[in-house]
Amino acid sequence: QVQLVESGGGLVQAGGSLRLSCVASGSIFSTNIMGWYRQAPGKQRELVAVITSGGSTNYADSVKGRFSISRDNAKNTVYLQMNSLKPEDTAVYYCNVDQRISVYWGQGAQVTVSS
């Protein structure tokens, strides 16, 4: 089992920045994909950004150039630096760890961007 604990959400004005962190504990494989997804009210959960254990990244088009994902393998932690935030970025952000045979989700962190 893997446990994920997110932190760093909150309320910010449009144009501001936030940094999300997610610490994974438990049975962490050396090879996995860590990432962030988000779900806005009334919408489906969508990918924001993912990063492999080797450092390869992938971003949703809507956040490219504004968000940056990184990870510290020694700490089993993944980060999401969010800059130039827009009201449409308002959502619950979920940390995700994909270890192929199993996928784990965090409890979610609310990010609210006011206009």
Residue 6: both structure tokens together: 């997110």
Q: How far apart are the two ends of the chain, measured CA to CA in Å?
A: 40
Facing residues of 51 across strands?
34, 57
pLDDT, tens digit, 9 for 90 and up, residues 36-45: 999 999 999 9
What 3-state class would DSSP assign to 82? strand
Given pLDDT bands bounded at 50, 70 and 90, which one contains residue 60? very high
Q: Is the pLDDT of residue 30 over 90?
A: no
Residue of 103, 15, 98, 105 lying closest to 58 (CA atoms): 98
Q: Is the pLDDT of residue 61 over 90?
A: yes
